[in-house]
Amino acid sequence: MLKNRFLLYAGGIFISYFYFGILQEKITRGKYTYEVINEDGTKTIESEKYTYSVTLVLVQCIINFIVAKIASTMWPQGEDTTQKLYYASMSVTYLLAMICSNMALQWVPYPTQVVGKSAKPIPVMLLGVLVGKKTYPTRKYIFVFMIVFGIVLFMLKDKTSSQAEDTSMGIGELLLVLSLIMDGLTGAIQDRIRAESKPTGIHMMEVANAWCTLFLGILLIISGEYWKFYEFALRYPPVIINLLALGVTSAIGQLFLYSMVSEFGPLVVSVVTTTRKFFTVLASVILFGNIISGRQWIGALIVFIALFLDAYYSKAQPKKK
């Protein structure tokens, strides 16, 4: 029975986030074409890209909240005593991480985003040492060094790149760095929440996404993006279906993640998600024609091997000084 649940959770995480990655790249990296009728009656084919990152994240947060609300109704979670300020702070850093990560896809290929985001243990570890006063074993630092080396190897620019391309790639990489910093802050806040009130995973999923929906709704109105997205959706109605499917796969993936964490622990989850990321990169190369050089494959393998080893050996919690 336990083995069957493991296969169910692992399969759910793999399938939902695998499809999530394909949809995300299809939405953010795809070209949307339409006809323009000129004054002389001739037609011209124009194309544009999806650039509405706030709307993209808002749809995910709304669906995540709805799914978490349904789950908490079906399986009552008890009382949550977490301070609202913690949830609000976590929501802000979580949102900034997601928005920066999605915006980066306007400048970098999806494999670069996946490998770059794999460096998440680095800011989490640094903030754990500086803020949480934690200590880590030597092998932890070795694995982190491997991750840094692999990412540098993967993102190292070729000499043939044009100056304009160098600038664009720099913007994408900067957004990924900002996203990682926000991930580290989110992890620090989550550690504080778990230490003080120990809410369930569904509690955190529901309340955090409620705050995110509120903040994003306000930002959407202030920025005026809602009107631009509305006009975009009128030109390309299929994007609505893709966004809804993206939100559903995100919510289902989160439910499987929280279920696996509560029953099998974070170690097993890390192994499953690391494996999923590697196959997501492989699918992106095959389905969307993203070209990865031999050097980049070596860098990606170093990153994923380091993540796997880190997950395997991280059985003991880091001790406080």
* Vertex 186 angle, CA 81 and 28, to 5°: 125
- Reported as a single tens digit per residue, the pLDDT across 46-55 is 788 888 989 9
Confidence of residue 160 (pLDDT cuts 50, 70, 90): very low
The larger pLDDT score, comparing residue 96 to residue 292, is at 96
Tens of pLDDT, residues 263-272: 665 545 656 7
Nearest Cα residue to 104 out of 86, 116, 119: 116
DSSP code of 158?
A: P
The pLDDT, as a whole number, for residue 164 is 42
- Cα–Cα distances (Å) from 131 to 127, 137, 161, in that order, read 5, 17, 40
**Residue 211: count of CB within 10 angstroms of its CB:** 20
Lowest pLDDT segment from 82-96, 109-123, 204-218, 307-321? 307-321
Region label for 289, one of left (φ > 0), alpha (ψ between -120 and 50) or beta (otherwise): left
Separation between Cα atoms, residue 126 and residue 123, nearest integer Å: 5
Residue type, 89: S
Q: What's the rounded Cα separation, in Å, for the pair 20 and 14?
A: 10
Query: Angle of helix 110-117 relative to helix 84-104, nearest 10 degrees?
Result: 140
Handedness of CA 214, 123, 111, 307 (dihedral sign): negative
| Model pTM score | 0.73
SS3 per residue for 73-124: HHCCCCCCCCCHHHHHHHHHHHHHHHHHHHHHCCCCCHHHHHHHHCCCHHHH
Position 161 scores a pLDDT of 44
pLDDT at residue number 319 = 46
From first CA to last CA, the distance across the chain in angstroms is 40
How many C-beta atoms surround the C-beta of residue 259 within 10 A? 19
Report residue 80's pLDDT band, with 50, 70 and 90 as the boundaries. confident
Q: What is the mean pLDDT of the chain?
A: 79
Identify which has the larger pLDDT, 68 or 120: 68
Closest CA to 269 of 283, 255, 279: 255
pLDDT tens figures, 231-274: 999 888 888 999 999 999 988 888 887 777 656 655 456 567 76
Q: Give the closest residue to 134 by CA, choosing from 183, 184, 200.
A: 184
Q: What is the model's pLDDT at position 128?
A: 67
Residue 86 confidence class, pLDDT cut points 50, 70, 90: confident
